[in-house]
Amino acid sequence: MKWIPNFNSSNSLRVIFVIAVFILLFLSSIAYKHNQDLNESSKLVMHTYEINIQLERLMSAIKDAETGQRGYIITRNGRFLAPYLYSRDKVNASFVTLKKLTADNPIQQQNLENLFKLIIQRFVSFENCLKYSEPKTYDKRKLDNYMFSGRIQMENIRFQVDKMNDIEKKYLEKRLKIYDQEISLSPIFSISLFLTALTFILMAYRQISRDFERLKIFNKKLLISSGLMAESETIGKFSTWQWDLDSNKIDYSDNQFRLLGVEPNSFIPEKESFLEFVHPDDKDVVQASMQGIIERKNLPFVYYKIVRPDHEIRHFKSTGKLLTDQQGSKILLGINFDITDEHLLNIELQERNKELEKSNKELASFNHVASHDLQEPLRKIQTFISRVSDADKAVMSDSAREYLSKIESSAKRMRVLIDDLLLFSRTNTTKKEFIKSNLNELLENAESELTEIIQEKKAVITTSKLPKLEVIPYQIEQLFINLIGNSLKYSQLGRIPEIVIESEKVLSADYPDILEQTIKKFHKITFKDNGMGFDPQFKETIFILFQRLHSKTDYPGTGIGLAICKKIVENHKGFILADSDPGKGSIFTVFLPD
């Protein structure tokens, strides 16, 4: 289904967001690890400094002992011996601490062991120094020896302590270097990761804003089109409704409510609510078609009536289609047309049609009356007159004979009238079969039909080449008979009748007032005679039924001949004109479509 715009960027957006979240999680785990490493290294530093401090403390305790001992040796005051006496404990305490601190390092343990031995030796030297400095046991040489060896031992201890400090320092440096390496690798990595995540998020943002723009445009279009739709529904007197078959929700357009004669949204449409408006006569039809729409997927036009709340009956025409969208949900779309005006017009037309049919039938029955019922009594009158034999007439009075002859001529005239009238009405009612015919042949037929009068009047008929046209042959023949017959009948006394028949092709555009403009080309056929002519003021009236310009005693006729000509030409979508110069002749012009 193409009727719903596609917004499937949400899936790619989701992917982008998931990737960004993973990157961020990864980044935070790296930061956590960094933190841990930092902690570790600061602990290490602390550890090294603690060892350093304890070693220094150890050193200062020994130095205190040395200083105290010297003071005592010089002064012999027992007070100076106090630091020396305490120093042993201090050394022991520091030692225990150091032992603990270096528990994880066997080299330092070994160094500590060595240091301990050196310190013990030092203390032994102290003891000996004290011993040989006592006045009772004084021995200057031994004292000097021990004092000097104590001095060397002190230097050894210092060396050992420095050595241990160096090891710790180096160890620290090594460890820190490793950490530094680890840490120095990650910032570039994490920054690049961060930038990647940022790019993803920016991409997502771009997509979102693009979608948003598209949505805005669609929304605007939607608003415009729904506005236009609502307007066109009002103008066109139609309405739409949608029935979502999955959610069973039905939506009416505003005009649907209006067509039903209620305010827009005045009720919530349900499956049955439309049927409530349908005229009781049509409920079954509408219900069946609603069912049919679901089964057949579309609905042929259904015609029915609805009853508005104010009891006004409106005529509706409806159609519908089952639509399936991309998600496969089915929506029934329906369109209702209010065709009340057309319906009423239709009824009026039908009535007029019926009237026309009726009058046509009347015309046909008139035809029958004229052809049969009217002729029958007339025929009998004529037959009975003919049965009055000459012998009968001989015994009649003169006036009776004259009356009888007048009855006879009147009956004859009536016969001619009826025949002509019949011919006129048949021109209209008989079937009109158009056949491609050579007009020259039809003219020849007409002339042979008129042979008697042509010979009698010694008439000269000049004919140019006539076209071949799609015509009703017998009618065109009749037209030629009537026109030529007319010219012969109204010929000038003492002048040989001359009739010139000519034909040419003309454009309808050249005769905008008289010719049908949808037909481009016409044939103009003229019948020119040298007869008595007529007053041009009658050039239109002579084509009217029963119009005569002469008294029937001078020129017998019914006034139907030219009316028949006009009818025949009209049957061919053509036109006939007459003009005359009285005393010189007349000209009849017939236009027939190419």
The footprint of another protein (CB under 8 A) covers: 371-372, 375-376, 378-380, 382-383, 386-387, 411, 415, 430
If the CB atoms of residues 183 and 388 are measured against another protein, the closer one turns out to be 388
If the CB atoms of residues 16 and 411 are measured against another protein, the closer one turns out to be 411
If the CB atoms of residues 162 and 373 are measured against another protein, the closer one turns out to be 373
The single-letter code of the amino acid at 65 is: A
If the CB atoms of residues 207 and 571 are measured against another protein, the closer one turns out to be 571
Minimum distance from residue 294 beta carbon to another protein (Å): 54
Burial label for 491, CB within 10 Å (0-12, 13-18, 19+), is buried
DSSP assignment string, 432-445: ---EEEEHHHHHHH
If the CB atoms of residues 390 and 510 are measured against another protein, the closer one turns out to be 390
Minimum distance from residue 484 beta carbon to another protein (Å): 23
Q: Is the dihedral of CA 537, 542, 546, 550 positive or negative?
A: positive
Minimum distance from residue 392 beta carbon to another protein (Å): 12
Minimum distance from residue 386 beta carbon to another protein (Å): 4
Residue 342 and residue 301: Cα distance in Å, rounded? 15
Minimum distance from residue 407 beta carbon to another protein (Å): 13
Residue 79 and residue 72: Cα distance in Å, rounded? 8
If the CB atoms of residues 13 and 423 are measured against another protein, the closer one turns out to be 423
Minimum distance from residue 468 beta carbon to another protein (Å): 25
If the CB atoms of residues 144 and 362 are measured against another protein, the closer one turns out to be 362
CA proximity to 487, closest of 584, 379, 593:
584
Residues 6+ apart with CB under 8 A from 531: 487, 490, 491, 492, 497, 585, 586
If the CB atoms of residues 273 and 430 are measured against another protein, the closer one turns out to be 430
If the CB atoms of residues 247 and 389 are measured against another protein, the closer one turns out to be 389
SS (H, E, C) 81-147: HHHHHHHHHHHHHHHHHHHHHCCCCHHHHHHHHHHHHHHHHHHHHHHHHHHHHCCCCCCHHHHHHHH
Torsion from C-alpha of 468, 470, 474, 479, nearest 10 degrees:
-70
Minimum distance from residue 384 beta carbon to another protein (Å): 8
Strands lying side by side in the sheet with 498-507: 460-463, 498-507, 521-529, 585-593, 575-581
Minimum distance from residue 389 beta carbon to another protein (Å): 9
CA proximity to 519, closest of 510, 532, 529:
510
If the CB atoms of residues 10 and 383 are measured against another protein, the closer one turns out to be 383
Distance between start and end Cα atoms, the chain: 52
Minimum distance from residue 429 beta carbon to another protein (Å): 11
Minimum distance from residue 371 beta carbon to another protein (Å): 6
Q: Tell me the CA distances in angstroms from 163 to 26, 55, 169, one per residue in order.
A: 43, 11, 10
Residues 6+ apart with CB under 8 A from 98: 51, 54, 55, 58, 112
Minimum distance from residue 373 beta carbon to another protein (Å): 9
Residue 29 and residue 21: Cα distance in Å, rounded? 12
If the CB atoms of residues 77 and 451 are measured against another protein, the closer one turns out to be 451
Decide: 591 and 575 in contact? Cβ < 8 Å. yes
SS (H, E, C) 169-192: HHHHHHHHHHHHHHHHHHHHHHHH
